[in-house]
Structure 1
Amino acid sequence: MIAADTIHYCIGLSASLVLGLVSGSFLTMLTHRIALRLLPLWQTESNGPTTTPERAWRSCCPRCGGVIPWYRNLPLVGWAIGLGRCSVCRQQVSLRYPVIESVTTLVVMVVWATQADPWRTAALTLVSLWLVALSVIDAETRLLPDSLTLSGLWIGLLLSVMPVASMPGPSGAIIGAAAGYALLAGLNCAYRLVRGHDGLGGGDCKLLAMLGAWAGPAALPVVLLLAAGGGCLWLLVRRWPGTGGDNHLAFGPWLALAGWITLVWGHERFYL
């Protein structure tokens, strides 16, 4: 006879799978439409989309403008049904859609599998969706929209006054937000004095402020260390002889990944 705990675990795992797929499908739409608002259209699609920002608010192909049927909008399944091609123009559909859906599903399931407190599970699921969206947008546009960074910051501050397990209190969240912004803003000022131009964008400072509100000031050194280390390794890979890489790096995805790791597994173990 199957134990009750096993049944509950399977039900929860299935629920997190469905939630991740649905959320990932929503994020593919949200990040694309925000990108259209942030940059001129020809900068958001490398293959030259023909969809205007206004038309893009419908579920349609970003290249030919053909309306996508509902079954093609099913997470992962819709992309697989069409073999990665638009049903109207038969052009290749970007891999961003299944990749975002898969990554979102993975992070939601990891949060569910690693957290015991239901309130913290819900909170970390929410911030995980924010971080995935910010990572995608920054990777595609080199911009971090205030609508996501500042809303994530305020949600973290609001949760600090609620009984959410392992979340910093109000003072810790406020100090963490202020310290996160000040750290990167100060580093950028020093870089500008030496090099004569900015090395970081204001969105990176706001993202670290958001993470400081969620994780507290003690987690910020770990977040910066992981983000800087990951970013440097990625630059080395991109600049490997024969790859033709450059020195430009979207730092937001690395901050988001480092913050997510710190929130899910805790910053304390990195000090050991």
Structure 2
Amino acid sequence: MQLTDTHTHQYYERDEQKQKELMQRCFDAQVTRLFLPNVDVASIAMIDELVERYPEHCFAMAGLHPCDVKEGYEAVLATIKQSVTGRKIVAIGEIGIDLYWDKTTLDIQVAAFKEQIAWAKQLDLPIVIHCREAFDEVFAVLEAEKEEQLRGILHCFTGNFDQALQAIDLGFYLGIGGVVTYKKAGLDEVLRNVPLEHLVLETDSPYLSPVPFRGKPNESSYLLHVANKVAEIYNLSVEEVAAVTTENSKKIFLV
């Protein structure tokens, strides 16, 4: 069995020994493919270090997180774009719109989102979208930018069935993480009507730990708990869920 974590910030752990232990727990849980979303300039080097240590298992993205889109963001975007040269990047992400923390930056979040979508089109790469309390705004951008080349993952999907269909119709997979294990989230009911072929698995480590680790720091090895819950929802074996979702990740990232 091979599990794929399509969204993990496991590079945040800076202690080398602890990082080794985190990775070994991944391998013990058969999580052998980890995709690392970029959030700002500082995380570029962190990601590159982890990829260098585990080139067979870790894969880099490049992007500016919407919560880091502040005044003067243009210079930050320019630095991140420049970093792509000479590095193997499998996606532009995580990018998008977040209206949970600050609604006043919506205009520049949209501008940054559109610019990074343009990078993805130029480089023929998928995008990985962060969307928090901003489905309408994100979908408005995607509809405006829609073309066959535009594709990727709606990371940490927690929407309703109609929003799931809209994302799929736009050419996106749904990133399913620890929230699916939360009793009151209702995501399990949404997924019962969505074919597994449209899903990928993720942890968003160190955030959003699945049950039974909710409230504690997350890690990529906990992806197995997400996979088990998804298997329960679809009445499949965890091996089948791992196979389908890993294959989906290969279609998106081409690695």
Q: Give the shorter-chain TM-score range.
A: under 0.3
Of structures 1 and 2, the one with the larger relative CO (CA 8 A, separation 6+) is 2
Please identify the structure whose Cα radius of gyration is greater.
1
TM-score after normalising by structure 2:
0.26
> In proportion to residue count, which structure has more strand?
2
> In proportion to residue count, which structure has more helix?
1
